[in-house]
Structure 1
Amino acid sequence: MYYSVKRILVLFCAVGLLMGLYGCAPEVKEPEPEPEQPPNLDAAVGEFGELFQYSAVAVKGYGIVAGLPGTGSSECPPDLRQALVKYILRETGSGATVNPNKFIDSLDTAVVEIYGTIPPIAFKGDRFDIRVAAFSSTQTTSLAGGTLYPAELKEMSRLVSFEGYTAVLARAAGPVFINNLDGDKGRTSGYVLGGGTVVEGVKLAIGLYKPGFLAAAAVRNRINERFGPKTAQAISPGEIDFTIPAKYRNRKEQFLNMLRLLYLSDDGQLLDRRIDMLIDELVSASNKINAEHALEAIGRPTLDKLWELLASEDEMVRFHAARCMLSIGDDRALVVLGQFTREVGSPLRVPAIRAIGLSAERNSAIPTLAGLLDDGNFEVAFAAYQELYRLQDVSVSRTVVANKFFIDHVTRRGPKTIHVSREGMPRIVLFGVPIRCSDNIFVESEGKDIVINARPGEKYVSVMRRLANRPKLVGPLLAGRDVSDIIQALCGDPDVERRPMTRRGLGVSYSDIISLLSKMCDTGAVKADFVAGEMTTAGSFLENIGGNDR
């Protein structure tokens, strides 16, 4: 017993010795981080961090084109049919009477692939063109006259099956446009002009190269000071979210460049030195855009130096200085830019028109631009019309036809011209209204399914149309001799009961009416020039991609 107690005492003494040597040693403290140093503000935002880049996104989906005159097909890949049936039932709700399978089986419908490209820096609600194409394995013969029913679009690189579980980026719907003007005979594919709608806008942010609370606060504060409260928000020491102010919604790329070049310091001497450097760059550099945007980002402190440049002998210096001043809000530059808009042969006429329309006060911009509607250069007149419409001037009025396209009426003393769009929103622009057809007129469409007829001395024009499921011509409907009235009679909704207070028409498509207008101008039935706008490039990336009938 004695030896057991002795052994226990020895053991405790040994443990106590070890604890004294090791266990009770003072705790080693980690060195405290050095306090964050105030950032050097003699720099631009782009030197502190990188703006996250958002490039265009290719999207794809599947849908149904309906309202075809028996030119569709009942064929549909089984997996896609299952996905479409589920989608139709979800969208129409439990009380719907439509039978999805019968709808797909109808020869008046066609299952299509849908392609498009969401533009960079897209906001929620932004519109873009889409391309639709019938599956090559089906017996669909034409999508002409059809309407794409609402469909979902997803990122193409992530869509690996008909029912891919990935985020919906956009929705698509609208009447199908077939380009008949260039002799394109392929009618199993077409476009929906402005048919894509962005569901969710991109998130805009700056990622700091060296994260820190002081740096993030300095960048955020300077952005909000220059562009308005709540433009930027620091959500962490390394990331600053921002939005594009309403003033710059039509100049998104310019705003991003201005943000990169925005100078942070409010020190008077440093700012003066920065302005002098940028003014020298504006004068001497071959590419003056960065200097112009950096000066605009600084704002009103630059105006005195910019004003001096308006007397420069170099027209490029005058132009960039004047545009910069106007963008900052100094209308003294309007006289110089107005001179550029009237300088025949100058490549700066249209850019000057854009600058005035976007930046000048409305009551100052309209008188400067209105006279350009009469210009003999149609590109100049068209640019003036676009800005005047945006400014809601009385020289431009708009009519919606069957909720499918627009007719814009432009007051003009210059040559009468009919312009039709083939990208963006479908739109017919009549320059020099009223535009009237000739006294004796007989015009048939290429397939002889649309007829316009009027004898000399008759007050009205007769319009008729042959439908695929009716052997005889429908009509006649009477229209005035004004081209706008003829368009509305031909293209108005034939089912007026569904649209109260709406004029009855023959339901001619946008594709067919612009082809008919081209023929009327070519044959002299309408004394006006015909101008077709640029053709949409929606789905052009498919040229390097093979078929995808899965």
Structure 2
Amino acid sequence: MQVRRPSTSSPERQHVDATTEASDSRRSFLKLCASSLIFGSTLSGCHELNIKRWFDDEEAMRLNVQEAIRGEDGHSKLIGDYIKIADSTLGYIKVQGVGLVTRLDGTGEDPPISPLRTRLLDDIRREEIDDPNSLLRSSETSLVVVTAYIPPIARKGDRLDVEITIPDGSETVSLKGGWLMPCRLSEHALLEGQVHKGNEVVYATGPILIDGLFEDSTGSSVASRKGVIPSGAVYSGPDRILTVAIRSDYRRVRMSTHLASRIGQRFHDYDKHGIRRPLATAKSNAHLELIVQERYRNNYPRFLQCVRHITLTESPVEKHLRMQDLGERIMFGPTSEQAALQLEAEGSEGVPALKRALNSPSPEARFRAAEALAYLGKPECATELKEAARNEPAFRIFALAALACLQTGETISALEELMHEESLETRYGAFRSLSTLAPDDPIVQGIPMDGEFRMHLIDSTATPFVHLTRRKKPEVVLFGAEQEFQLPMTIRAGSRILIRGNTLDNSVDVKRVAAGEEDKTLTVSARIAEVVKAATDLGASYPDIVQMLVEAKNQSNLPGKIAIDEMPKPGRVYHRVPEDFANAENANGSTSSSPATIGSDGLMPNLFTEQSNKTIVTEAPEVSDPKEAGMEPNGIIVE
């Protein structure tokens, strides 16, 4: 049998095989290199395109900013076209807490076990109150949700209104006569899927003014389950600053610093060392921060309007021509608003043209000029603003706000005169302006009451009326200091004070009757001011006094009307008169006689701002000790 041996290759054959293998390896390597080069070149090309596009965008923005600052054609001259006021800076920040209302007349409840109750117990224990569970079980107490809103430009120490509501499912019947125990409020935020509690920045307490006090005897019981505490909270957080965003196609450091410089040249103040401080700061290439000048403190929307009408840049010749044109446009009603704002934005250089416009035949032009002059600190505005507030409802709110920004003899006299007008909103609006402008003026200073409010006696010659407030501050304003109740009368001031008027001697007995106390009676005249003083001396709170006066009104015991938050409004229609078109040839032929809406809710002076219809924003708070949280049906977030 033939045995086949394993074949062996010759050296030549082995060399050929090795050469072939090496060749195959080189081909594979070259293919891989080629693929890598192709892929790499593709990536490199994309990268180069991205870099090129980025440099092109940057160059385009740089040229855009350069041309705008140089004032070249195609770019606006006004700062307002390069900025946007951030929505978050103009909104209200909502803060909440869980509180305990006491002093109820058996209308409270023992709250059921819930996260709200747990949080309230923790807060009560922090106050070192003995046996908190026993306190919660009383029918004289109720668990409530406490809400406040921090307004734009709020400062540490500012007073805030407080809203009180009862949680869903609560069996509390009424909050009438209730007092909110000290309660801390904080903001909450949703961060990374969890609800976190922010710092406690508001402290609230005080007597509750229930909504039901303003209802008649058939009013819904729901109104007695919610209420407010006017000026019942103190803000302890950091000052809120106005933030201005720069348009995306102009976001460069050069533009932000130029904008801040231009605004700072117009608006500035002085620090404690007397060094001039601009009120605008460039914080980045994308936004600025503004501090509101003190004269605009009670009308910051006007401040923002003025900022928007500052010029970005212009040559001396351009400025001369523009000022000449504005001097003509301010005399004509339909164009006077924009002209007045630009002249106001110029500062002292705009004053001569504005003063000339006070003699315009156009009522609208005279009002616009006077309004701008007030914010420029010129007392010549007083007479025209007084007439605007008196005669034109559409101008009224803005005229009164302008008078409130300038403390001179002329403006104070104008406001004092307006408190004798028959219009209720004019009278109270003038009072609000004067009490803000000069709170220590003897006419509006008022008398502090034991019930933590003030009573103001105004010697008005107009029809007597009583004004009450639910917002800003608790006060009773009597327009007609000597007005008296119409007797006979039987009314209450809270559940413990009974008031009876006797027609025989025109006197009023104010009597306190409370369980466990000795009855106390004060006898006074029928003057409303004396009865209010006697009731507060016997322990009546502001809500008790409001109840007393509303009852007297419902029973026809008041000599005149009663009003609650009776203030002028923005957004009213002004019907232009022929005199507004007297200089039509100077306004490009515009002679439209269509009605004009004056202002809007967004331009409402914060001197008169009400809480309703306000934008609520969420700002991430500084989170302290974050924990997972739950959400109750009423919307408050609890730990």
SS in 2 for 1:166: strand
The CA distance in 1 between the partners of 2:477 and 2:112, in whole Å, is 39
Counterpart of 1:207 (choices 230, 245, 252) is 245
2:69 aligns with 40
1:443 corresponds to:
490
**8 Å contact kept, 1:170–1:200:** no
Q: 1:80 aligns with which of 83, 94, 116?
A: 116
Report if the CA contact (8 A) 1:131-1:538 is conserved. no
For residue 430 of structure 2, give the secondary structure of its aligned residue in structure 1: helix
CA distance in 2, matches of 1:518, 1:405: 17
* Deviation at residue 347 of structure 1 after TM alignment: 4.2
Residue 6 of structure 1 corresponds to: none
After superposition, what is the alpha-carbon deviation per residue over 1:164-198, rounded to whole angstroms, capped at 9, x for unaligned? 42344534322111132223333222222233444
Deviations 1:405-441 (A, max 9, x none): 2211112222221111123222110111123345x54
Equivalent in the alignment of 1:65 = 101
Structure 2 CA distance for aligned equivalents of residues 120 and 245 of structure 1: 14
TM-score of the two chains, using structure 1 as the length reference? 0.78
- The SS at the match of 1:462 is strand
> Secondary structure in 1 aligned to 2:172?
coil
Aligned partner of 1:273 in structure 2 is 321
> CA offsets, 1:58-85, max 9 Å, x none?
4432211122233222224342233223
Q: Is the 8 A contact 2:189 2:195 kept in 1?
A: no
What does 1:8-19 correspond to in 2, within 5 Å?
none
Partners of 1:420 and 1:429 within 8 A in 2? yes
- 2: CA distance between counterparts of 1:276 and 1:352? 26
Aligned positions of 1:132-143 closer than 5 A: 132-143=164-175
Correspondences of 1:40-439 after superposition (within 5 Å): 40=69, 42=71, 43-53=77-87, 54=89, 55-90=91-126, 92=127, 96-155=128-187, 158=190, 164-179=196-211, 180-183=213-216, 184=219, 185-186=221-222, 187-198=224-235, 199-209=237-247, 210-228=250-268, 229-265=277-313, 267-279=315-327, 282=330, 286=334, 289-343=337-391, 347-349=394-396, 351-359=398-406, 361-390=407-436, 391-392=438-439, 393-438=441-486
Structure 2 equivalent of residue 499 of structure 1 = none
The 2-side partners of 1:153 and 1:372 are apart by 40
Rate the CA distance shift 1:382–1:540 in 2: closer, same or farther, 3 A: closer
Aligned amino acid, residue 365 of structure 2: V
Per the TM alignment, residue 326 of structure 1 is displaced from its structure 2 partner at its CA by 2.8
**Do the aligned partners of residues 188 and 322 (structure 1) sit closer, same or farther apart at CA in structure 2, a change above 3 Å counting?**
closer
Q: Does structure 2 conserve the Cα–Cα contact (< 8 Å) formed by 1:51 and 1:260? A: no
Distance across 2 between alignment mates of 1:255 and 1:88: 44
The separation in 2 between residues aligned to 1:452 and 1:162, in whole angstroms, is 54
C-alpha distance in structure 2 between counterparts of 1:196 and 1:304, whole Å? 45
Higher relative contact order (CA closer than 8 Å, sequence separation 6+): 2
How far apart are residue 132 of structure 1 and its match?
A: 1.5
Contact 2:454 2:475 in 1 (8 A): yes
Aligned to 2:529, what secondary structure does the other structure show? Answer: helix
1:467-478 aligned within 5 A: 467=514, 469=515, 474-478=519-523
Compare 454-463 and 288-297 and name the one that shifted more.
454-463
Distance in 2 between the 1:405 and 1:306 partners?
41
Aligned residue for 1:498?
Answer: none
Structure 1 contact 41–264 (Cα < 8 Å) conserved: no
SS at match of 1:72: coil
Q: What amino acid sits opposite 1:258 in the alignment? A: C
TM-score, normalised by the number of residues in structure 2: 0.68
Instruction: Mark the CA change 1:407 to 1:146 in structure 2 (over 3 Å): closer, same or farther.
Output: same
**One-letter amino acid of the counterpart of residue 356, structure 1:** L
Distance 1:394 1:162 in 2: 54
1:531 is aligned to 563
Name the larger-Rg structure: 2
Distance (Å, rounded) in 2 between the aligned partners of 1:447 and 1:225: 56
Deviation at 1:263, TM superposition (A): 1.4
Name the aligned partner's letter for residue 228 of structure 2: Y
State the shift of 1:237 in Å.
4.0
What is the Cα-based RMSD across aligned positions, in Å?
Answer: 3.8
Contact 1:59 1:116 in 2 (8 A): yes
Structure 1 distance, partners of 2:549, 2:472, is 19
Residues 11-55 of structure 1 show CA distances to partners (whole Å, capped at 9, x for unaligned) of xxxxxxxxxxxxxxxxxxx99998997561543333343332322
Name the aligned partner's letter for residue 271 of structure 1.
K
Q: How far does residue 320 in structure 1 lie from its aligned partner after superposition?
A: 0.7
- Consecutive unaligned residues of structure 1, counting only runs of 5 or more, are 1-29, 493-504
Q: Distance in 1 between matches of 2:478 and 2:116?
A: 43
SS of match in other structure, 2:283: strand
TM-fit CA distance, 1:526: 4.2
3-state secondary structure, aligned to 1:329: coil
Counterpart position of 2:536? 491
SS in 1 for 2:385: helix
**Separation in 1, partners of 2:384, 2:484:** 38
User: Which residue number in structure 2 is paired with residue 461 of structure 1?
Assistant: 508
CA positional deviation for 1:365: 1.2
Return the alpha-carbon distance in structure 2 between the equivalents of residues 303 and 431 of structure 1. 37
- Counterpart-to-counterpart distance in 2, 1:111 and 1:268: 67
The question of whether the paired residues in 2 share the 8 Å contact of 1:62 and 1:113 is answered with yes
Count how many residue pairs are aligned between Structure 1 and Structure 2: 497
Counterpart Cα distance in 1 of 2:184 and 2:339: 43
Q: Is the 8 A contact 1:63 1:111 kept in 2?
A: yes
Q: Contact 1:115–1:539 at 8 Å: present in 2 too? A: no
Check the 8 A contact 2:252/2:286 in 1, yes or no: yes
Structure 1 158/175 Cα, relative in aligned 2: closer, same or farther at 3 Å?
farther
CA separation in 1, counterparts of 2:543 and 2:316? 60
Contact 2:188–2:197 (8 Å) recurs in 1:
no
Query: Identity over the aligned pairs, expressed in percent?
Result: 23
1:73–1:139 contact (8 Å) kept in structure 2:
yes
Conservation of the 8 A alpha-carbon contact between 1:417 and 1:530: yes
Offset at residue 473 of structure 1 (A): 8.7
